[in-house]
Amino acid sequence: MTSTADILAYIPSPPQGVWSIGPIPLRAYALFIIVGIVVAAVWGDRRWVARGGEKGTVLDIAIWAVPFGLIGGRLYHVATDWSTYFGEGGNPVDALKIWQGGLGIWGAVLFGGIGAWIGCRQRGVPLPALGDAVAPGILLAQAIGRIGNYFNQELYGRETTVPWGLEIFERVNADGRLDQLAGTSTGVVEKVVHPTFLYELVWNLLIVVLLVWVDRRYRIGHGRLFALYVAGYCMGRLFVELLRDDYATHIAGIRINVFTSIIVFIGAVIYFLAAKKGREAPEELQPKHPREPVATAVAATGSSATGGSEGAPDAGPAGPAESGGTEAGKTDS
């Protein structure tokens, strides 16, 4: 190992990634994931309104998309790194510990898309148009999430001597045992590596800017901006994967995420070229299944339970937090 004093110009890792507030652990990884989700949902909703949609629609659909995305991201990670949890020396219970890091973006996008499809069916809005509205925000959320990888000292590349190399510290817990995830730095540098999480973060931000510019300049729609996001991300991820040498599942000696990046990139390009040109008209984005006001729903439930006939009071416009009413539930499939 190399002492910190022996290294003059490298990027230091944080001394720790977990802080305790009484009995409650505050994890940087989880914090940045949450911040990213909030940013994506809020910005996506504003973009949806700017394209002619109803305010609050993206937040309604996020209620479905976010949990599906988290589950899908974890499933992909565990499936492509199964030996860590189910192989020799592994603990299957650790597969459930999402707070320790490990979310595969491919699974998150796939399952998040399924959740979004369910939400779009409930509200009666087109899924491709929604994807175009949220695409820049999703990629910005991914960039924010990479900061969590920095605190976890994970997703880094091969050892290097470049000036911007990242120092990986030895971390120990309160008992003095090695604990790279939840421990505190001893000041000893184990190695200096390519900060591939930082490369991906910067790349994601560049693609976010590109997506916003293309959307304003060419006014594309029908899911083509989302396809451009996917293709752009895959290009950067392929480069990052080629720099990493941490443990991963390989096929024919090649990291599985390299194959995934190439296959998904090709699929995104084909969709971008084949999809309908132009952009949806604002009236196409209006929900076919409006929200049912809370007060009306509660009153209707009470009336049904008591056999009363008194009408529900006028509750006014529904708030953005409500997700689907009676009619919306009928179209869920």
Residue predicted with more confidence, 15 or 8: 15
Confidence grade of residue 8 (pLDDT, cut at 50, 70, 90): low
Mean local confidence (pLDDT), 221-243: 96
Which residues, listed in sequence order, are joined to residue 171 by a DSSP beta bridge?
A: 185
**Closest Cα partner for 109 from 220, 227, 195?**
227
Count the Cβ atoms, other than its own, within 10 Å of residue 175.
7
**Closest Cα partner for 230 from 200, 203, 261, 259?**
261
Complete DSSP assignment for 251-313? ETTEEHHHHHHHHHHHHHHHHHHHSPPS---GGGGS-SSPPPPHHHHHHHHHHHHHT--PPPP
pLDDT (tens digit, 9 = 90+) per residue, 266-302? 999 999 999 999 999 999 999 998 775 543 343 344 4
Q: Of how many residues is the chain composed?
A: 333
Segments making up each domain of the chain, as ranges: 2-285, 294-331
Mean local confidence (pLDDT), 91-117: 88
- Residue 304 confidence (pLDDT): 47
Q: Considering the entire predicted model, what is its pTM?
A: 0.81
- Residue 11 confidence (pLDDT): 92
- Residue 325: in which H helix or E strand, if any? none
- Residue 296 confidence (pLDDT): 37
- Residue 282 confidence (pLDDT): 95
Q: Are 205 and 140 spatial neighbours (Cβ–Cβ below 8 Å)?
A: yes
Q: Is residue 163 over pLDDT 80?
A: yes
